[in-house]
Structure 1
Amino acid sequence: MNYETLLKSFDEPDELREFELGRFEIIKVAGISIGRATYQPGWKWSLHNAAAAGTALCHAPHTGVAIAGHGVVLYEDGQRLDLLPGLVFHITDVPHDSWVEGDAEYVSLHVLGI
């Protein structure tokens, strides 16, 4: 039998996106991409990512799990989601803002491609 085992680390991601108060590391393995988002206190999507995206709010869907800290998602209709460690989330493509709540960094893992 031929067993192929592949180990990768976020310390050496396949892709790294860095921006003010945050970074997003991507690892590609077995036909999927897994991302690790790390945001510092004070990070807010509408302040730190909107200009690069060209939209006032995020329109991308996100599916993942919160690992550390406290993230908040606020949909344009006012619905708020608090992302806390251990919670699995699916954020739809309905326009939303997000930010780090409190003084600890927020870390989450994201499934990017299935």
Structure 2
Amino acid sequence: MAAIELKRMDQPDERRTPDKTSVDVVQLGEATVARLTLQPGWRWSECIKPIAGTDSCQAAHLGYLVAGRLHIVADDGTEADLGAGDAYRLSPGHDAWVIGDDPVVGLEFEDKTAATYGRG
């Protein structure tokens, strides 16, 4: 493996486009990174649930929000708002939706989630 490996997120190895969602994925050695872009009106339970086939998101997330605002509600009832500049870790079992009129852009570093999120 090369000592330095670079890829551009605007030239991804794979792009997925579920409803109101864009997932750009790059492979860097054994690591996978995804950029999620969620449009205003996006809600996991409406846009991704039909693909996932589960009652709530069962993916673990580790990431960084670059732009926009996102509201998360965990199955245990805890809630949080994420905004640009927030790093986050989410356990499986949650719903989420875009707050406001601006797209949410986030970078996802959890390999399994980055590799499979939004895939039918």
- Normalising by structure 2, we get a TM-score of 0.86
* Residues 1:100 and 2:98 are matched in the alignment: yes
Partners of 2:80 and 2:25 in 1: how far apart? 24
Percent sequence identity is 33
Whole-angstrom CA distance in 2 between matches of 1:59 and 1:4: 34
Please state how far the C-alpha of 1:85 moved relative to its aligned partner.
0.9
- Aligned residue pairs, count: 111
Residues 6-15 or 19-28, more deviating:
6-15
Q: CA deviation at 1:92?
A: 0.6
Q: Does 1:112 align with 2:73?
A: no
Residue 73 (structure 1) aligns with:
72
Q: Which amino acid aligns with 1:23?
A: S
Between Structure 1 and Structure 2, which shows a larger proportion of helix residues?
2
Which secondary structure state, in structure 1, belongs to the residue aligned with residue 22 of structure 2? strand
Residue 52 of structure 1 is matched in structure 2 by 51
Unaligned runs of 5+ in 1: none
Please give the alpha-carbon distance, in whole angstroms, between the structure 2 residues aligned to 1:6 and 1:58.
31
Query: Which of the two has higher C-alpha Rg?
Result: 1
Contact 2:60 2:110 in 1 (8 A): no
Match of 2:35?
36
Greater alpha carbon shift after TM alignment, 73-82 vs 3-12: 3-12
Q: Deviations over 1:56-92 (max 9, x none)?
A: 2101100011100001111122211211111110001
TM score, norm. by length of structure 1:
0.90
User: 1:83-114, CA deviations, whole angstroms, 9 ceiling, x for partnerless residues?
Assistant: 11111100012x10011000000010010329
**Counterparts of 1:1-40 in structure 2 under 5 Å?**
4-40=3-39
